[in-house]
């Protein structure tokens, strides 16, 4: 039973997270030869003020908007 844990900075849409979970599940099924219902995907999201690289918080190093391109659009799939 594969357990896939994705850690990322918050700000993605529900549709993006659904697509990501689907892609990881699909690939795990194909590569590991398991049933989709055996695959668990957990997405842990963190605010930029709680994520640092090389000792510097991302909110300071990159600014508020870094990495958010395309995440501000909301579509029908966001209502899932």
Give the Cα separation of 32 and 52 in Å (integer): 33
Give the Cα separation of 77 and 13 in Å (integer): 9
The reported pLDDT for the residue numbered 37 is: 98
User: What is the CATH T-level fold of the domain 3-66, as seen in this structure?
Assistant: Macrophage Migration Inhibitory Factor (3.30.429)
pLDDT in tens, the chain (80 residues): 999 999 999 989 999 999 999 999 999 999 999 999 999 999 999 998 998 999 999 889 888 766 655 445 444 444 44
Domain boundary assignment for the chain = 3-66
Entry pTM: 0.73
The reported pLDDT for the residue numbered 75 is: 45
Which residues does 42 contact at the CB level (< 8 Å), separation at least 6?
3, 4, 5, 6
């Amino acid at each position: 039973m594969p357990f896939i844990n994705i850690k990322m900075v918050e700000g993605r849409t529900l549709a993006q997270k659904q697509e990501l979970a689907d892609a990881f599940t699909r690939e795990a099924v194909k590569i590991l030869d398991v049933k989709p219902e055996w695959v668990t995907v957990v997405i842990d999201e963190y605010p930029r003020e709680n994520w640092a690289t090389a000792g510097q918080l991302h909110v300071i190093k990159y600014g508020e908007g870094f990495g958010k391109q395309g995440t501000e659009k909301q579509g029908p799939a966001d209502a899932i």
